[in-house]
Structure 1
């Protein structure tokens, strides 16, 4: 596969508690197991893309702390070019995650250094795809819409109203069904991918479905990194001219592989292996 991909987004240290069930408001649930691992939607997508075989660089920020150094090392190990990740004055971003026995999760994000991500000194090539998310500032996403000369994909998560210029510019917007329902403006977007969990995923043009693919049946260990893996895989597929239905099937297969791993940045086979699904 020949694809250059730049991921602009968040880098977080994930602190995950696995419990039998998620607590209700004001409730304490005991018996949990604690894990620390690399995360952040941007870093998850960059790691997935690199492991799938795209030449991937990450544009983001970490703090001058042990967590930041560990996260940079993890991205390098995944094959991601980290030259455009800057050291910020703020501490490295952190995500506090709870996962239940069925893989469902609750997440609270403390943005830290992610608030200082900047495009200063960053250039994008005409043939370089760019993927971003909404764990960085909307102003930065709007700046990307104006500056990226090539393929521009936006994972609109967490759900926030998007500036009209972002919706109009994006070649691809990726959301889950809840995010899609919260963002009615996406019915006017040129291409939107919507994920429905165990029910599969679809591609919509101006609100009309043009492709659908069923999900692979899995009993999830964790769904934390599944959407990010899907986003990376679908961007790779569509940017390399895979037809829409086959692209969705491949992205679903990558997402299905992701839910079988407790980590937000699991290992993957080369992308071509998932095109067989």
Structure 2
């Protein structure tokens, strides 16, 4: 385990974005602005954020043998991220189709593509042995996320799980997670509870989840965040 070394296991998507006056109704066509293309995917975004904060980062993921896949890998490498574990598979690179209304509301369709082909048996234990922190999300198969968490925990790394997109999580995954990061909706989904209304309710939900995970962070958008764990709460 190398302190300051981050291993991100997760998704790489190309985000295709069009601005529209309003989102279309079913069966309707609307005219939008120019198509914009941005590198994305929750996993790749986390890898870039960690690299920009000064960590040594390695990315594990899957892309297609296409122009989007090559562009995404080049973008990570330009950020100083190691991509030897980002392999090409016989599937298109993941894509997010995003329309943004004049009011700032997004409508998003994600085609996982190659991300769905990252299987538990594809994970090489060697990068986990070198990582101080393993960062995970839920845009790859859940069984792969669980295996990555197990490999990270076994290697002595701290496992950080950003539980998005929201879904119920198995107890054995939470058992090997050190930090759980969720928004209010995701926290409710993981806990099997109603969505909290306000920071006090979100903190109560964080306390509940902290019975199962050492540290829980619930993000509140523009209102900041709350946290709870063995070291206290805030």
TM-score range, shorter chain: 0.7 to 0.9
Match 2:174 to one of 167, 176, 193: 167
The equivalent of 1:82 in structure 2 is 83
Q: CA RMSD in A?
A: 2.2
Please give the per-residue CA displacement for 1:168-216, whole angstroms capped at 9, x wherever unaligned: 211011111111122215724332111111111111238x9812xxxxx
Aligned counterpart, 1:121: 124
Hey, what does 1:68 align to over in structure 2? 69
Q: Is the 1:20–1:101 Cα contact (8 Å) retained in structure 2?
A: yes
Between Structure 1 and Structure 2, the one with more strand by share is 2
Match of 2:140 in 1: 136
Cα distance in structure 1, aligned partners of 2:75 and 2:66: 15
* Post-superposition CA distance 1:137-164 (Å, at most 9, x none): 1101111222112100111000111110
Contact 1:19 1:33 in 2 (8 A): no
Q: Say whether the 8 Å CA contact 2:6–2:131 is kept in structure 1.
A: no
- 1:235-250 maps to which residues of 2 (within 5 A)? none
* CA deviation after TM superposition for structure 1 residue 65, in Å: 0.7
> How far did residue 122 of structure 1 move?
3.6
How far apart, CA to CA, are the structure 2 residues paired with 1:116 and 1:193?
29
Seen in structure 2, the aligned counterparts of structure 1 residues 145 and 66 have a Cα distance that, compared at 3 Å, is same
TM-score (norm 2): 0.81
Aligned length: 209
Q: 2:163 aligns with which of 153, 156, 164?
A: 156
Question: Secondary structure, in 3 states, of the residue corresponding to 1:90?
Answer: coil
Matched residue of 1:61: which SS? strand
Whole-Å separation in 1 of the counterparts to 2:213 and 2:29 = 42
2:101 alignment counterpart: 100
Tell me the TM-score normalized by structure 1.
0.69
Q: Which residue of 2 aligns with 1:202?
A: 226
Q: What is the 5 A alignment of 1:243-262?
A: none
Structure 1: how far apart are the matches of 2:29 and 2:170? 39
Q: Work out the CA distance in 2 between the residues paired with 1:77 and 1:85.
A: 15
SS at match of 2:52: helix
- State the distance in 1 between where 2:117 and 2:131 align: 27
Give 1:135 deviation, angstroms.
Answer: 0.2
Structure 2 unmatched runs, 5+? 193-207
SS of equivalent residue, structure 1 residue 67 = helix
Where does the alignment leave 5 or more consecutive residues of structure 1 unmatched? 212-277
Deviations 1:51-74 (A, max 9, x none): 221100100011111111111101
| Structure 2 equivalent of residue 40 of structure 1 | 41
Task: Work out the CA distance in 2 between the residues paired with 1:180 and 1:26.
Answer: 34
Asked if structure 1 preserves the Cα contact closer than 8 Å seen for 2:116 and 2:141, the reply is: yes
Which structure has the larger Rg? 2
Change (3 A) 1:20 1:190: farther
| Partner secondary structure for residue 39 of structure 2 | strand
State the distance in 1 between where 2:67 and 2:169 align: 34
